[in-house]
Amino acid sequence: MTTKQIVLAARPNGTPILNDFRFEDIELDELQQGEVLLQGMYYSVDPYMRGRMNEGKSYVPPFELNKAIEGGVLATVLESKSDLFKTGDVVLGSLPWSEKMIASDKNLQKIESTVESLTYYLGILGMTGLTAYFGLMHIGKPKAGETVVVSGAAGAVGIVVGQIAKIHGARVIGIAGSDEKASLLKQEFGYDDVINYKTTGNIKNAIANLCPNGVDVYFDNVGGEISDAVIQNLNFHARIALCGQISLYNSTKIPLGPRIQPMLLTRSVLMQGFIISNFQKDFPEGIAQLSKWVNEGKLKFTETIIEGFDQLPAALLGLFKGENKGKMIVKA
Ligand code: NDP
């Protein structure tokens, strides 16, 4: 049986381009005992994949040149030689960007959806929802009446962070890249106010104006000059949950920003980076809490679903142009 896959054709120099990817037709092997034949349905595209396109050591190994890109995929079982899964089951796994694929049953999770959409398992009840939950609850620790600032606020992680902070009684200010995103965050997701960083001249002053009592928690998804501006407004004993630095992922040289250590020192600020897998043993608790809030209507979510397997590379590049609201997903 032949299928189409997408491989890493070249390591990007700076911002990735479509030519860094290549489509190939491949022949699938015979199904072995303990394996399933899968049909990909929904493919997650995530900023961390940009890091895997580079060579070098990180917390996940780089994608190999001329091998299929890999990421979170929701797939249907077409054929099974596994005792764990039967034809028609829906599974989630870290799988190749391939229309069909053979996978070992050891690395798959069966999905039995109790919420309105299966794709929630790539977003609010998946990696990005858990990132929002653990980063905010374990590092940010917002208290009622405090002010929380979230960068990358209209993305998959940011949309959830703001709502969890509101559930805990905080005032929440977002930073996002368009007026449309700002309105969505305020009207649908409970953000108290939002700064459009692309049209706001002085972000430091804009934050000072919107946060007259200073910033107690900063959930940082983007880094760079946006974070420099937020950090100038931190309160004594503020906490920074260092989640992502997307503004720097395509940099060939990391720009030198202001020296922030004196500010962190004199204001007794905690700044802690984290990788979601640090919290793996607590995932069942995180999923249970997120599901409860979703089912109670306290946590809402949105997705940008792009149609067509062939759109996967463009969708990944779109994350760096702000083309998504909420979780970016490709539907095959
Ligand atoms: P998003 O859904 O937020 O998508 C990326 C968004 O980033 C874009 O929509 C865009 O929105 C914004 N963006 C892109 N380039 C820039 C830039 N130069 N400056 C400012 N904003 C930019 O992605 P996720 O929610 O999945 O991830 C958010 C962050 O969290 C990423 O940095 C990611 O790497 C990180 N992350 C970390 C994890 C961890 O374990 N620590 C796990 C998951 C994610 P806009 O229109 O606002 O510019």
Domain ranges for the chain: 2-122+302-331, 127-277
Picking from 88-92, 109-113, 162-166, which range would have the lowest pLDDT averaged per residue? 109-113
Look up tokens 């940011």; give the residue.
158
pLDDT in tens, 291-320: 999 999 999 999 999 999 999 999 999 999
Using the mean position of ligand 1's atoms as its centre, give its distance from the Cα of residue 99 in Å. Answer: 26
Question: For residue 138, what pLDDT band results from cuts at 50, 70 and 90?
Answer: very high
Q: Which residues line ligand 1 (CB under 6 A)?
A: 46-48, 127-128, 131, 152, 154-158, 176-178, 181, 221-222, 226, 243-247, 274-276, 319-320, 322, 324, 328
Supply the pLDDT for residue 116: 61
Domain 2-122+302-331 identical in fold to domain 127-277? no
Using the mean position of ligand 1's atoms as its centre, give its distance from the Cα of residue 158 in Å. Answer: 8
Mean pLDDT of the chain: 97
Start-to-end CA distance of the chain, whole Å, equals 18
**Exposed, middle or buried: residue 331 (CB in 10 Å: 0-12, 13-18, 19+)?**
middle
Judge whether residue 242 has pLDDT over 70. yes
Supply the pLDDT for residue 114: 59
How far is Cα 16 from Cα 310, in angstroms, rounded to an integer? 16
pLDDT in tens, 24-33: 999 999 999 9
Question: For residue 207, what pLDDT band results from cuts at 50, 70 and 90?
Answer: very high
Using the mean position of ligand 1's atoms as its centre, give its distance from the Cα of residue 157 in Å. Answer: 8
pLDDT over 90 percentage in the chain: 95
State the helix-helix crossing angle for 224-231 and 203-210, rounded to 10 degrees. Answer: 40
CATH architecture for residues 127-277 = 3-Layer(aba) Sandwich (3.40)
Using the mean position of ligand 1's atoms as its centre, give its distance from the Cα of residue 222 in Å. Answer: 6
Supply the pLDDT for residue 137: 98
Question: For residue 225, what pLDDT band results from cuts at 50, 70 and 90?
Answer: very high
308: left (phi over 0), alpha (psi -120 to 50) or beta: left
Nearest atom, ligand 1, residue 153 CA: 47
Supply the pLDDT for residue 310: 98
The protein residue with its alpha carbon nearest to ligand 1, atom 19, reads: 247
C-beta of residue 95 within 8 angstroms of C-beta of residue 3: no
The CATH code of the domain at 2-122+302-331 is 3.90.180.10
Question: For residue 10, what pLDDT band results from cuts at 50, 70 and 90?
Answer: very high
Using the mean position of ligand 1's atoms as its centre, give its distance from the Cα of residue 28 in Å. Answer: 34
Nearest atom, ligand 1, residue 277 CA: 40
Using the mean position of ligand 1's atoms as its centre, give its distance from the Cα of residue 203 in Å. Answer: 18
Query: Which DSSP state fits 318?
Result: H
Judge whether residue 115 has pLDDT over 60. no
Q: What is the ipTM of this complex?
A: 0.99
The protein residue with its alpha carbon nearest to ligand 1, atom 1, reads: 155
Supply the pLDDT for residue 255: 87
Mean pLDDT value of segment 162-172: 98
Query: Which DSSP state fits 193?
Result: E
C-beta of residue 114 within 8 angstroms of C-beta of residue 184: no
- Give 261's strand partners: none
